[in-house]
Amino acid sequence: SQQGEEDPQALSIQEGENATMNCSYKTSINNLQWYRQNSGRGLVHLILIRSNEREKHSGRLRVTLDTSKKSSSLLITASRAADTASYFCATDASRNSGGSNYKLTFGKGTLLTVNP
């Protein structure tokens, strides 16, 4: 079963508005990552936040992590039509630091539509 669950499943906004997507997960994690997928393409990494971090910024992206609530949020400010894509959170709950268990678990994604 999925470790991360995004909310909402779909979001439609106007250009210039902010978009907020949430991710909840079930077990303790090493880090949480957000990815973007344009239609018909592979996923592209956006940002990684480690379990000991609470907030991280990258350009127009702001990610928060609340490990006590097992949740994260991705905020895209001043959205553009080009931000239209699906956004996925992925959690790394690997327990084996020796290297044989490195894998991410992805959520089902939030489809963001930014209308011009």
**Which residues in this chain contact other proteins in the complex, by CB under 8 A?**
2, 30-31, 33, 40-45, 48, 50, 88, 90, 92, 94, 97, 99-109
- Residue 68 or residue 97: which is nearer to other proteins going by CB? 97
Question: Closest Cα partner for 79 from 55, 110, 105?
Answer: 110
- Residue 18 or residue 38: which is nearer to other proteins going by CB? 38
CB of residue 53 to other proteins, shortest distance in Å: 12
> Exposed/middle/buried for 108, CB within 10 Å: 0-12, 13-18, 19+?
middle
- Residue 9 or residue 18: which is nearer to other proteins going by CB? 9
Are residues 36 and 86 in contact, defined by beta-carbon separation less than 8 angstroms? yes
CB of residue 81 to other proteins, shortest distance in Å: 22
